[in-house]
Amino acid sequence: MSDLNPCMTCGACCAYFRVSFYWAEANDGGGLVPAQLTEPLTPFLRCMMGTNSKHPRCGSLEGEIGHRVSCAIYPNRPSPCREFAMSGENDEENEACNRARARYGLPPLYKDMLFHTSLEAATSVLTAVQSAPN
């Protein structure tokens, strides 16, 4: 079993939601997000390039979803990415995280499953949770 953060073997939320934010989070507005990796959305909003499409995938997501992924601009990612909580974090489920994972055939995460990062390990823990006596 790996002790890696589950997000490092997931990436589903980076290829499920439109990642939009106030335009000035980009570095041509004084923020950190590389402007060339964003798309205009409205006069006041931008989104990460590739996320405003029928089959979204952020252009900054590297790797293969469900196996090994990373964010090419992690230190400079926009606020929605910073604020999106992995399900189970702080003992709280995040339905949106689990919905994105389901889109890619990944099992939901509960607080009991943190740090069980492989599909096999997560599935075995899920089975244990589901079959635990009340």
How many CB atoms are located within 10 Å of the residue 67 CB? 12
Shortest separation between residue 101's beta carbon and ligand SF4, angstroms: 5
> Which of residues 46 and 101 has its CB atom nearest to ligand SF4 in the complex?
101
- 118 phi/psi in degrees, rounded to 5: -80, 155
The verdict on 26 binding ligand SF4 (CB under 6 A) reads no
**Footprint (CB under 6 A) of ligand SF4, residues 47-106:** 48, 58, 60-61, 71, 73, 77, 81, 84, 86-87, 97, 100-101
* Integer CA distances (angstroms), 60 to 2, 19, 57, 114, in order: 25, 11, 8, 25
Rounded to the nearest 10°, the torsion over CA 5, 8, 9, 10 is 100
Shortest separation between residue 30's beta carbon and ligand SF4, angstroms: 18
- 123 phi/psi in degrees, rounded to 5: -65, -40
Binding region for ligand SF4 (CB under 6 A):
6-7, 10-14, 19, 48, 58, 60-61, 71, 73, 77, 81, 84, 86-87, 97, 100-101, 109
